[in-house]
Amino acid sequence: MALYHLGERVAPYVQRLEREGFEVVLNPAGRCLTEEEMVRILPGIFATIAGIEPYTECVFQAARDLKIVARYGVGYDKVDVAAATRHGVAIAMAFGTNHEAVADSTFTLMAAIVGKVVPAHLCVKSGGWGKDLHPGLWRATVGIIGLGRIGKAVARRCRGFEMRILAYDAVPDAAFARENGVHLVPLDTLLREADIVTLHAPHSPETENLINRERLALMKPAAYLVNTARGGLVDEAALYDALASGRLAGAGLDVFRKEPPTGSPLLDLANVVLSPHSAGSNATSETAGANRCIDSILAMARREGPESEYLLNPEVLRSGRGGVSGPTA
């Protein structure tokens, strides 16, 4: 059996699993499952098409039949990869399937906050009219933190607006930067000079609260912050203080430390545009990501193993612990 986490409907691509003899089980809650729910539901499940639910030591301990977690997306901060490896569970990712969608959403948030689209919309709806001058995107300075697939896709979009592009990455791609007019700079320099700072770094212990009170203080008062990466990159209390005090002009947020961000004071600010962790989701990326997950599951069921470039722990396959006899094992 395979557990499908990506919605309340079985999309057409899921029929690929059914044709191979899988029984596809929908996420019964219709929302992100808790650790306790995962422990209860996963026994008897061979594979999951995973969202952002937690895969912990307790979950893997309970999921005796689980052989592969096919993660829809590129982030795996909710997956204990070491625990998965100990329990012989392969972790397969959908790298390269949603970065263009995230870049589209990132640029949409940039345009919305800089162009004050939401206040203008509400003004007209309430019977108001008139102009509110705002900065433009053309030839603005953008700072990209994290120059991986998504950061590079954002940079390509920024080139079309003749933006000055700054980037910081722990392991920068100097060739891409040179070919695309990207200036690689230290993080503090990026924060001081950018009109818009956009985050595309992974969440890890090293990047926890990467944007904290001290780094927010480096940014221009007229600057904007966009986060379509992970909520844990930002100290939300410090961000709220900067936005509420006018120390920072605005923010576009697709991700939050707690999701959904019920009760967050950020929800009450007029200079914030919000979206529900949906930056990587459009019709094209959904199909590509899900098919990548299904490719990995079917390869596992056929004892071939997913392609190594998509595996976080290929040693599971090399050890033989991930081997199975069929899709209902």
Catalytic residue among 259, 304, 307, 315: 259
Catalytic residue among 230, 236, 286, 292: 230
304 a catalytic residue: no
Print burial letters for 89-106: b (CB count within 10 Å at least 16), e (below 16): bbbbbbbebbbbbbbbbb
Tokens of 75: 């982030």
Closest CA to 135 of 97, 156, 172, 161: 161
Are 71 and 53 in contact by the 8 Å Cβ rule? The answer is no
DSSP assignment, residue 21?
T
Closest CA to 209 of 191, 189, 236: 236
Angle between helices 99-114 and 117-125 (to 10 degrees): 60
Distances (CA, A) of 5 to 1, 27, 62, 72, 119: 13, 5, 18, 9, 35
Distances (CA, A) of 69 to 60, 74, 115, 285: 10, 13, 41, 19
20 a catalytic residue: no
Give the number of C-alpha atoms closer than 13 A to the C-alpha of residue 114, restricted to the C-beta side.
22
Burial of 233 (0-12, 13-18, 19+ CB in 10 A): buried
Q: CA 185 to CA 175: how far, in whole Å? A: 15
Angle between helices 149-159 and 99-114 (to 10 degrees): 50
Catalytic residue among 71, 87, 149, 277: 277
259 a catalytic residue: yes
Closest CA to 154 of 165, 141, 170: 165
Active-site residue set: 230, 259, 277
